[in-house]
């Protein structure tokens, strides 16, 4: 089900990029040796450029994102296309940073799993809708922490725009229970963690045969 996420917004000067914050965490989850990697919904390609792999492919449905991303690196194979329908291979590593909520949850997760080679790794940093009592309790910590980090970043000059103005955004997301239920069926054994700033992570090692 897709409902709107309503968040208390900080003043413009104190806003910052939560995806970037979790990118460092994501990069620490990478297997030590990766031959082929695919970044799904790559946007401007910041994550794709940070992936350590022999071959990196990045796909985005926005022609403008791919046009801008491809101007930044020719080490990466940039694809303008819909991940659900584009003819792609299978990869040792598949990443999706803030892009799964752009897709229908079960179809998107199934597709990401299919794109992951047997024995490969799928890593998702995703957005979830604040809906449950546990989510609300988390907000009591998240909201002040968000303001403190925003203030610290504004003071040391590392803040700035939470996202690029040309980046496609959607204001809906599944809830964490919906994500856990879909994952239990589609990527059983995946490790799902709730993170502080409205994000969750999902790490799945694909079985050797799937
Ligand atoms: C919020 S942005 C995140 C971009 C980037 N991963 C980041 O973290 O900065 C989501 C991206 O997913 C892309 N996207 C949405 N639906 C897609 C689809 N079906 N196939 C490929 N990319 C898609 C959008 O065009 C957008 O660039």
Ligand 1: does its nearest atom lie under 6 Å from the Cβ of 199? no
Q: Is residue 155 part of a domain?
A: no
To test the pocket of ligand 1, the residue of 26, 108, 168, 171 to mutate (highest count of ligand atoms within 8 Å of its CB) is 168
Predicted pLDDT of residue 8: 63
3-state secondary structure 54-120: CEEEEEECCHHHHHHHHCCCCCEEEEECCCCCCCCCCEEEEEEECCHHHCCHHHHHHHHHHHEEEEE
In angstroms, what is the span from residue 122 Cα to ligand 1's centroid? 16
Q: Is residue 66 part of a domain?
A: yes
Q: What is the pLDDT of residues 95-140, one digit of tens each?
A: 999 999 999 999 999 999 999 999 999 999 999 999 999 999 999 9
In angstroms, what is the span from residue 83 Cα to ligand 1's centroid? 10
User: Per-residue pLDDT averaged across 168-196, rounded?
Assistant: 96
Q: Is residue 153 part of a domain?
A: no
Q: Is residue 210 part of a domain?
A: no
- Is the pLDDT reported for residue 13 higher than 90? no
Q: Which domain holds residue 178?
A: 8-130+162-205
Q: What is the pLDDT of residues 156-181, one digit of tens each?
A: 877 767 778 899 999 899 999 999 99
Q: Is residue 199 part of a domain?
A: yes
| Range in 24-38, 107-121, 147-161, 190-204 the model is least confident about | 147-161
Nearest atom within ligand 1 for CA of residue 46: 9
In angstroms, what is the span from residue 97 Cα to ligand 1's centroid? 8
| Range in 11-15, 65-69, 149-153 the model is least confident about | 11-15
Whether residue 103 contacts residue 129, with contact meaning beta carbons closer than 8 Å, is answered with: no
Nearest atom within ligand 1 for CA of residue 108: 19
Ligand 1: does its nearest atom lie under 6 Å from the Cβ of 59? yes
Predicted pLDDT of residue 153: 86
User: Which CATH number fits the domain that encloses residue 28?
Assistant: 3.40.50.150
Predicted pLDDT of residue 15: 85
Q: Is residue 3 part of a domain?
A: no
Q: In whole angstroms, give the CA distance from residue 76 to residue 131.
A: 38
pLDDT averaged over every residue in the chain: 93
Nearest atom within ligand 1 for CA of residue 164: 9
Predicted pLDDT of residue 157: 79
Q: Is residue 137 part of a domain?
A: no
Q: What is the pLDDT of residues 46-103, one digit of tens each?
A: 999 999 999 999 999 999 999 999 999 999 999 999 999 999 999 999 999 999 999 9
Predicted pLDDT of residue 85: 98
User: Per-residue pLDDT averaged across 21-26, rounded?
Assistant: 94
- Is the pLDDT reported for residue 6 higher than 90? no
Ligand 1: does its nearest atom lie under 6 Å from the Cβ of 84? yes
Q: Is residue 126 part of a domain?
A: yes
């Amino acid at each position: 089900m897709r409902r709107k996420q309503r968040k208390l917004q900080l003043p413009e000067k104190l806003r910052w990029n939560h995806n970037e914050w979790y990118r460092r965490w994501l990069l620490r989850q990478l297997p030590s040796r990766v031959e082929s990697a695919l970044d799904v919904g790559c946007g401007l390609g910041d994550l794709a450029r940070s992936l350590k792999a022999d071959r990196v492919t990045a796909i985005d449905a926005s022609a403008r994102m791919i046009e801008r991303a491809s101007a930044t690196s020719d080490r990466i194979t940039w694809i303008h296309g819909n991940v659900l329908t584009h003819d792609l291979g299978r990869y040792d590593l598949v990443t999706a940073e803030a892009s799964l909520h752009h897709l229908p949850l079960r179809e998107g997760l199934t597709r990401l799993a299919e794109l992951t080679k047997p024995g490969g790794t799928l890593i998702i940093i995703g957005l979830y809708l604040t809906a449950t009592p546990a989510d609300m309790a988390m907000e009591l910590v998240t909201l002040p922490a968000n303001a403190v980090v925003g203030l610290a970043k504004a003071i040391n000059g590392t803040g700035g725009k939470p996202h690029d103005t040309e980046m496609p955004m959607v204001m809906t997301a599944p809830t964490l229970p919906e994500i856990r239920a879909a994952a239990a069926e589609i990527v059983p054994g995946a490790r799902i963690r709730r993170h502080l700033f409205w994000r969750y992570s999902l790490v799945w090692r694909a079985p050797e045969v799937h």
